[in-house]
């Protein structure tokens, strides 16, 4: 039995192996470069005393924090790569006019890992770019539906709505356009695959794939699952 119905096993293993390598590299880099980074000595005092931790615990936590920051930049790319491996979808890579496209369904997607990846003031730029792509006469994506994907939504909400970011310069939001939409990760995976719980299925098989691709064994899978439930509770 394959891990998932909407992506081949070898493709899934490949992208998981890559992200594990990124994580290991980030942790190694945090160890290697730790003394090169300027640490706030005042914060050290208050963190150790306020959190009631000793030097060893603080040091391990700070190195993990630095490594996590580096890894987080790649998790959004993980979802983009997964999407590009689905039937009908293409991952256009970094530096392209858009992250992914499904020509048959006339869909394009800009994928961000979290709802706050892009500052509120910059979301209007994303809207304007999408509007140019789907509304410009003669453009290859004219009349496509553009999705601004926030894989991890705010407050566990699910949504598929018109994208109307506020424009502080003009004091009003961008006008609603049914071709320019904002969507959470759970809803987008369902849209992209036709499988209502596709994102949940992906999450649930990842521990198995990670264990196959590494020497790590999960002792308590329910620990992370609780955070998944919180992130995608029904609206």
Instruction: Establish if 34 belongs to a structural domain.
Output: no
pLDDT of the residue at 32: 87
User: For residue 207, what pLDDT is reported?
Assistant: 96
Q: Which residues contact 235 (CB under 8 A, 6 or more apart)?
A: 156, 157, 158, 159
Inside any domain, residue 186: yes
Do residues 183 and 160 lie in contact, with contact meaning Cβ atoms separated by under 8 Å? yes
The predicted structure's pLDDT at residue 205? 97
Domain count, the chain: 1
pLDDT of amino acid 120: 77
Residues of the chain with pLDDT under 70: 234-235
Q: Phi/psi of residue 174, each to 5°?
A: -65, 150
**Domain span at residue 119?**
75-235
Q: How far apart are CA 73 and CA 78, in angstroms?
A: 10
Q: Could you tell me if 157 and 235 are in contact, meaning their C-beta atoms sit under 8 angstroms apart?
A: yes
Which residue's entry shows tokens 């003009």?
170
Does the residue 47 lie in any domain?
no
Question: Quick one: tokens of 143?
Answer: 């009349």
pTM above 0.75, yes or no: yes
Q: What is the pLDDT of residue 209?
A: 97
Cβ atoms of 142 and 134 closer than 8 Å: yes
In a domain, 196, yes or no: yes
Q: Find tokens 């999408």 and name the residue.
A: 130
Q: Show the tokens assigned to 6.
A: 């909407």
Q: Is residue 40 part of a domain?
A: no
pLDDT at 234: 60
| 35, part of any domain | no
């Amino acid at each position: 039995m394959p891990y998932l119905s909407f992506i081949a096993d070898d493709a899934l293993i490949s992208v998981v192996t890559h992200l594990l390598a990124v994580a290991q590299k980030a942790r190694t880099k945090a160890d290697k470069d730790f003394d090169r980074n300027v640490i706030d000595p005042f914060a050290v005092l208050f963190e150790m005393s306020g959190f009631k931790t000793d030097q060893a615990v603080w040091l391990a936590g700070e190195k993990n924090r630095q490594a996590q920051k580096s890894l987080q930049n790649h998790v959004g790319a993980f979802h983009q790569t997964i999407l590009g491996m689905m039937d009908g979808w293409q991952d256009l890579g970094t530096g392209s006019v858009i992250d992914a496209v499904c020509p048959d369904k006339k869909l394009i997607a800009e994928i961000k890992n979290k709802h706050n990846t892009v500052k509120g003031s910059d979301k209007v730029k994303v809207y304007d770019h999408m509007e140019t792509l789907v509304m410009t006469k003669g453009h290859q994506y004219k009349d496509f539906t553009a999705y601004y994907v926030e894989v991890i939504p705010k407050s566990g909400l699910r949504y598929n709505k018109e994208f109307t970011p506020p424009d502080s310069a003009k004091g009003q939001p961008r006008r609603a356009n049914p071709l320019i939409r904002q969507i959470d990760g759970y809803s987008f995976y369902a849209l992209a695959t036709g499988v209502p719980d596709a994102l949940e299925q992906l999450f649930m098989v990842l521990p198995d794939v990670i264990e196959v691709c590494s020497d790590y064994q999960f002792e308590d899978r329910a620990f992370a699952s609780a955070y998944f439930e919180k992130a995608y509770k029904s609206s």
